[in-house]
Amino acid sequence: MMRFLALFLIIFLISSCGREESLKQEYLQKGGEIVNLSQSELLKNVSHAMKTGGPGYAIDFCNLRAMEIKDSLSRLNNCQIQRIALKYRNPLDKPQSKKEEDLLYQYQLANQKGDSLKPKVYLLDDRIEYYQPIVIDNGACLICHGDPGTQISDETLVKIEARYPNDLALGFSLNDFRGAWKITFMK
């Protein structure tokens, strides 16, 4: 009887681990697709704003419309889409837990070491959380997130300070870790 019980427990544990891994893989794919869509939509709109009215106009656009776009895509995909960062511009992008802050520091340290940054999935009791690191891989980002006085014009800096008085999202270089996308799926 004990052998049967032990065998049953081993089989149960193995199948549970397989289901958990399968679920993680499913949400790695699903989260990645949603991030790609969100990032593409935001970049398309910011690029259009830059072409229409330059960096100042793009800052106004981000301040007024970026959250609206994320909220719309969240509803469309039945999830919550966020960006989180240690050096955030919008206070809503500040990490909301020690876990988020620790994850961002882990990504930042890995990036500084030159390690590859990979998305992560956490299966929690009531939700599934997907995190995908953001690395500055486009020089155009530095027009608003680079070094003031060199990459960021004085005029743009004045606009940033007016819209985001407690901005921390300056001083980045190409290939720097910027933050992470966080996608939350409710169970």
3-state secondary structure of 176: coil
Pairing of strands 177-186, 80-84: antiparallel
Concatenated DSSP letters for 18-77?
HHHHHHHHHHHHHHHHHHHHHHHHHHHHHHHHHHHHHHHHHHHHHHHHHHHHHHHHHHHH
List of the chain residues with pLDDT < 50: 4-11, 13-15
Q: How far apart are CA 147 and CA 125, in angstroms?
A: 42
Query: pLDDT digit string (tens) for 169-186?
Result: 999 999 999 999 999 999
pLDDT for 91: 93
pLDDT for 65: 87
Q: How far apart are CA 98 and CA 103, in angstroms?
A: 8
pLDDT for 11: 45
Q: Which helix (H) or strand (E) holds 172?
A: none
Residue with tokens 């980002």: 141
Q: In degrees rounded to 5, what are phi and psi of residue 137? A: -120, 10
pLDDT for 126: 96
Q: How far apart are CA 135 and CA 139, in angstroms?
A: 11
Of the CA atoms within 13 Å of residue 165, those in its CB half-sphere come to: 0
3-state secondary structure of 143: helix
pLDDT for 3: 58
> Can you give the residue ranges of every domain in the chain?
24-186
**Is the full-model pTM beyond 0.85?**
yes
